[in-house]
Amino acid sequence: MDLFLVVFFLIQFIRQRLNTALVYKEWDKKLLLARSIAIGLIVAFWIFNKSQLVQWLSYPLVAYILYVIHKEKDFESIRSTVQSLYPYVIVSFLGDCFELVAATQYKSYRNYFELAKGFSFLWMLALWFNFRKQQKVLEKEREEQKRKDEENEAKKTSLEYLVAERTQELTIQTIELQRALDELKATQNQLIQSEKMASLGELTAGIAHEIQNPLNFVNNFSEVSVELCQELEEEINKTEIPDADKEYIAGIISDLSQNQQKITHHGKRADSIVKGMLQHSRASSGTKEPTDVNALADEYMRLAYHGLRAKDKEFNATLTTDFDPTIGKVAVMPQDLGRVFLNLFTNAFYAVAEKKRLNKDNPAFANYKPEVKIITKLFGGKLYIRVTDNGTGMPEHVKAKIFQPFFTTKPTGQGTGLGLSMSYDIITKAHEGILDVTSTPGEGTEFKITLPVSLNT
């Protein structure tokens, strides 16, 4: 009977210790079945008046439970505790075997067996009590460790928060420093551009003023010479001179008058160019003015062309214009936009001249004709300007740096690398537009300007 109770409490201990109802549901079903069998055997033991047969049925049940505990890894944590049950089971089994084999002699040794069972039972209780004590200590240690882990986790979370906060502060400071650096670079570029343009403006203004004085004399004296020719012709008509001589003299006077008129015409043209140079040398007012962009582009295209022709008398190029006649006057900064046109046209003429020079001995380029073209178009509240050439073109690595300050592909002394950088700033910052470039090496380049405009008639 007592072995049945041991089996019953052993099953309850296993279910409680391993929490099989939640963790090992399949084992829990088998343990419940074993518990039901143990209860049934207890009931049968009393019904059949403490039948020895029922008593012997408890041993296979106990043996099976102990076998499963030692075989299955799921029960590894309770094996040491269950081992305390061995002495009691062995003593009970030996006593029952001795009683079955020699019942008469068993009566003489019954007290010894009962005493051994008592000691083994006490041994089992002592081990279980010690195990429970150890379990409580372990649970306390686990709780303490859990508390420490929670504290460490809280500290870790706090540290991570502090690190994240500090990282965010450093990121903001980095962004602010980068912004300050960008502003410093932009200011530096503006100072470089202003200094360059100021020097260029002073030089241009000085040259223009020096040219303008003798040019005024040429224009004035040519006009006076035309008037003198007219007076001379009138006086000759009054004088009695043979008709043949009059015709000869009149012819000379007519030729002289035409020459003086041509001098006057080209002198005025030169005067307009000098005035344009003076206007170009002035600092921009930063105020947009109604401007005929077509006329402005045409003027600076010819200025750039004749500027290159002055250096290279053999250079010739086709100047093609495709102006939108519906544009009228557009509000822009004429001095600044003129600088952009001058830079773009100068680069375009340089590219076609360089292509002509590099391939002058190449039969494949015998029919090459340098051409620079400008197209203007007004559409959807935007002014589109395209400056195209059929020159040398640019590879990708050059095109990527073309608007950087001081970057130039021209030989030393022929380019400062500030023209296109200044043009980019004028279009993108001063006019809030877009300046872009497309190029094919060996075929040509196209600069594309897009300006948001308001019309002024």
Q: Is residue 182 part of a domain?
A: no
pLDDT over 80 (residue 143): yes
Task: State mean pLDDT over 115-143.
Answer: 75
pLDDT, one tens digit per residue, over 52-77 is: 666 677 777 777 777 777 777 777 77
- Categorize the per-residue pLDDT at 204 as very low, low, confident or very high, splitting at 50, 70 and 90: low
Distances (CA, A) of 339 to 198, 303, 424, 426, 446: 13, 11, 11, 9, 17
What pLDDT is stored for residue 193 in this prediction? 63
Q: In the beta sheet, which residues pair with residue 332?
A: 289
Residue 230 resides in a domain: no
Domain final position from 154, 184, 214: 154
Band the pLDDT of 240: cuts 50, 70, 90: low
Most confident option among 26-30, 114-118, 184-188, 374-378: 374-378
Q: What is the mean pLDDT of the chain?
A: 78
Please indicate whether residue 289 or residue 39 has the higher confidence score (pLDDT): 289
In a domain, 454, yes or no: yes
Phi then psi for 240, rounded to 5 degrees? Answer: -85, 100
Of these ranges, 120-134, 193-207, 429-443, the one predicted with the greatest mean pLDDT is 429-443
pLDDT at 216 over 70: yes
pLDDT over 70, % of the chain: 77
The parent domain of residue 393 ranges over 287-457
303 within some domain = yes
* pLDDT for residue 258: 80
Confidence of residue 451 (pLDDT cuts 50, 70, 90): very high
Spell out a b/e string for 336-368, using b for 16 or more CB atoms within 10 Å of the CB, else e. Answer: bbbbbbbbbbbbbbbbbbebbeeeeeeeeeeee
The CATH number given to whatever domain includes residue 357 is 3.30.565.10
Measured over the CA atoms of residue 22, residue 26, residue 31 and residue 32, the dihedral's sign is positive
Choose one of 104, 129, 154: the last residue of a domain. 154
Q: Which pLDDT score is estimated for 198?
A: 59
Q: Is position 363 within any domain?
A: yes
227 located within any domain: no
End residue of a domain, out of 103, 127, 154: 154
User: Is residue 389 pLDDT above 90, yes or no?
Assistant: yes
**What is the pLDDT at residue 320?**
93
Helix (H, G, I), strand (E, B) or coil at 49: coil
Residue 149 pLDDT? 86
* pLDDT higher than 80, residue 248: no
Let me know if residue 202 belongs to a domain. Answer: no
The predicted-structure confidence for 361-387, as pLDDT tens digits, reads as follows 788 787 889 999 999 999 888 999 999
pLDDT at 445: 93
**429/387: higher pLDDT:** 387
Q: Are residues 299 and 442 in the same domain?
A: yes
Q: Which residues of 416-444 are buried (b: 16+ CB within 10 A; e: fewer)?
A: eebbbbbbbbbbeebbebebebebeeeeb
* Single-letter code of the amino acid located at 157: T
The yes-or-no verdict on residue 194 having pLDDT over 70 is no
Dihedral sign of CA atoms 261, 266, 269, 271 in order: negative
Q: Taking a C-beta distance cutoff of 8 angstroms, is the pair 85, 66 a contact? A: yes
What pLDDT is recorded for position 281? 53
- If one counts the domains in the chain, the total is 2
- pLDDT score for 375: 95
Q: pLDDT band at 275, cuts 50/70/90?
A: low
pLDDT of residue 457: 44
Over residues 304-353, the pLDDT tens digits come to 888 788 777 888 899 999 999 999 889 898 888 888 998 899 889 989 98
Spatial CB neighbours of 135, under 8 Å, sequence gap ≥ 6: none
- Gap between the Cα atoms of 250 and 238, Å rounded: 13
Q: Check whether 38 has a pLDDT greater than 90.
A: no
Q: Which residue has the tokens 């241009």?
A: 204
* pLDDT for the residue numbered 269: 67
Residue scoring higher pLDDT (284 or 218)? 218
Greater pLDDT, 213 or 321:
321
Regarding predicted confidence, which is higher, 71 or 270?
Answer: 71
Q: Residue 440: inside a domain, yes or no?
A: yes
Most confident of 142-151, 301-310, 399-408, 431-440: 431-440
Using 50, 70 and 90 to split pLDDT, how confident is the model at 131?
Answer: confident
pTM for the model stands at 0.44
Q: Which residue has the higher pLDDT, 68 or 4?
A: 68
Radius of gyration of the chain (CA): 56
- Considering the chain, what percentage of its residues have pLDDT values greater than 90? 14
- Token couple for 327: 């544009």
